[in-house]
Amino acid sequence: MKHMPQIGMGTFRLEGTEATQAVTDALNVGFRHVDTAQFYGNEENVGDAIKTSGIARSDLFVTTKVWHESLGKDKFMPSVHESLAKLKLEYVDLLLIHWPYPGDDISLESYLKNLKEAKEQGLARHIGVSNFTIELLEQAEAILGKGEIYTNQIELHPFMQNRQVVEVCRQKDIRVTGYMPFAVGKIMKNDGLKAIADAHDTTPAQVVLAWMDKRNIHAIPSSTNKKHLAQNIAYTDITLTNEELATIDDLDNGERIVDPDFAPKWD
């Protein structure tokens, strides 16, 4: 079964033909993981790009996420089938719970069992969670069993390294996927990151992706610029020194960008 590539194409906030073009460009420059979600409203556009790419399905890794309004028993499976129809795929490689359910009328156990059912039906090769806290991860593992949760997708960038959650994921052998790796562009303005980038004749974005790779954190950066996409996928050309890695580690200040009113109580 195909493993999740280290880097993927994030599609949050990409809409319509812009989304189709961005994913097409990403696939053309070498991306093989595309990350979308029901909430993004672009699964159809992502599906169009995949369908016209000419890339074998077995060479691609596609992730989508079930929105919290579809976590009820009557909505869960229909929403997954709708996602697959929009993506024009028979299965996704990874199906995630986008956010833990914010109310108490749908239990964690009920929607995680639906998630596992989607995998058992062949609709998803791997299953996982997103925006789960340590407490929720503990509960999820107790419900699903060890080894079922493939990844926890969380906000992660140099200014928000989420170390406690990352450590628990490591202990549980759950991959960590970092979204917003560029902190909505803030990394481009950071003097420390710019200095490291200058030393390697590269970009702060590539520096951050190289750092995340060294820290065993998958990344799903987003861009609509084909040149930037090509630079992002070429981050492997850089080898950071231990001192540079430590400098980036020291940028952590707990700056959280994504914090909707339905978010769980963060660690």
Identify the pLDDT of residue 1: 75
CB 108 within 8 A of CB 140: yes
**Tens-digit pLDDT profile for residues 132-156:** 999 999 999 999 999 999 999 999 9
Identify the pLDDT of residue 77: 98
Which position among 40, 101, 111, 235 bears the catalytic label? Answer: 40
Identify the pLDDT of residue 2: 83
Classify residue 7 as exposed, middle or buried by CB count within 10 Å of its CB (0-12, 13-18, 19+): buried
**Tens-digit pLDDT profile for residues 189-205:** 999 999 999 999 999 99
Domains present along the chain, CATH in parentheses: 9-182+217-224 (3.20.20.100)
- CA torsion through residues 216, 222, 223, 229, sign: positive
Mean pLDDT on 14-34: 98
Those residues whose C-beta lies under 8 Å from the C-beta of residue 199, and which sit 6 or more positions away, are 244
Q: What are phi and psi of 90, to 5 degrees?
A: -85, -25
DSSP H helical ranges for 41-190: 43-53, 73-87, 108-120, 134-144, 163-171
CB 225 within 8 A of CB 29: no
Q: Annotated binding site for substrate: which residue ranges? A: 98
Count of beta carbons in the 10 Å neighbourhood of residue 146: 10
Q: Annotated binding site: which residue ranges? A: 98
Mean pLDDT on 51-64: 97
**Tens-digit pLDDT profile for residues 92-144:** 999 999 999 999 999 999 999 999 999 999 999 999 999 999 999 999 999 99
Identify the pLDDT of residue 153: 98
Which letter, b or e, does each residue of 108-123 get, where b requires 16 or more Cβ atoms within 10 Å of its Cβ?
Answer: beebbebbbebbeeeb
CA distance 183 to 258: 10
Distance (Å) of CA 74 to CA 65, 93, 114, 143: 17, 23, 10, 20
Distance (Å) of CA 33 to CA 36, 169, 233: 10, 21, 11
Is 40 part of the annotated catalytic residue set? yes
Closest C-alpha to 92, from 1, 28, 213: 1
**Tens-digit pLDDT profile for residues 159-190:** 999 999 999 999 999 999 999 999 999 999 99
Q: Is the pTM of this model over 0.95?
A: yes
CB 62 within 8 A of CB 123: no
Supply 250's token pair.
């020291």
Identify the pLDDT of residue 130: 98
Q: How far apart are the first and last CA of the chain?
A: 33
Percent of the chain with pLDDT over 70: 100
